[in-house]
Amino acid sequence: MIDSSDYIDSWIKSPDKNFYSIDYEYWKRGKDRARRSFNPDFFIKIDLDNYILKLESEGKIAHLENLKKLQDEGIETIIKVVEIKSDEEQDEATPKKEEYAKAHFEQVNSKLNTLNLADIESQYRAGAKQYYTFDLLTPHHFPGWIADLKKGGIG
């Protein structure tokens, strides 16, 4: 992320517990329902206006239409939420973490999209102009993910 800092505004490495928990469930060994929660590893903040300007200045236009559509919808900030696993990850719960997290952030985006900003206290309005994505990555995926970030791909 440090090598890509021109494309992001800030990021945090979240703690393993008591930060932002996402619930999921899966069938443990195919027979016992297990309900768990996890805290994604990173939250990456991208100012949409600055991001678009950076990409335009570099002539990277492949994804600009999608980004400008978000901008037209009033989005000011993209929050990329990332969970990191090892390349050898074999945990049967991992695919469910990804499935439930993507569904969770789709719901968050839907809720934010339907809010009337006039109903929100002024100090919280900027937080309602966010768009969330979720990525589950292994080190094998890092180069492609960074390349996508540098081209305007948001997932």
Whether pLDDT at 101 is above 80: yes
* Alpha-carbon gap, residue 83 to 109, rounded angstroms: 18
pLDDT of residue 126: 78
pLDDT band at 30 (very low <50, low <70, confident <90, very high): confident
Whether pLDDT at 34 is above 80: yes
Q: Which residue has the higher pLDDT, 2 or 121?
A: 121
Provide mean pLDDT across the span 42-62: 96
Provide mean pLDDT across the span 82-108: 93
* Alpha-carbon gap, residue 40 to 125, rounded angstroms: 24
For all residues of the chain together, what is the average pLDDT?
93
CA dihedral 135, 8, 106, 26 (to 10 degrees): 30
Question: What are the residue boundaries of the structural domains of the chain, listed by start?
Answer: 2-151
Non-local (6+) Cβ contacts of 89 within 8 A are 138
Whether pLDDT at 155 is above 80: no
Task: Using the structure block, give the residue that is written with the tokens 């978000």.
Answer: 70
106-110, 123-127, 144-148, range with the lowest pLDDT? 123-127
Percentage of the chain beyond pLDDT 90 is 75
Whether pLDDT at 114 is above 80: yes
Whether pLDDT at 11 is above 90: yes
* Alpha-carbon gap, residue 97 to 118, rounded angstroms: 34
pLDDT band at 4 (very low <50, low <70, confident <90, very high): confident
C-beta neighbour count of 24 within 10 angstroms: 20
Per the DSSP assignment, residues forming a β-bridge with 36 are 24
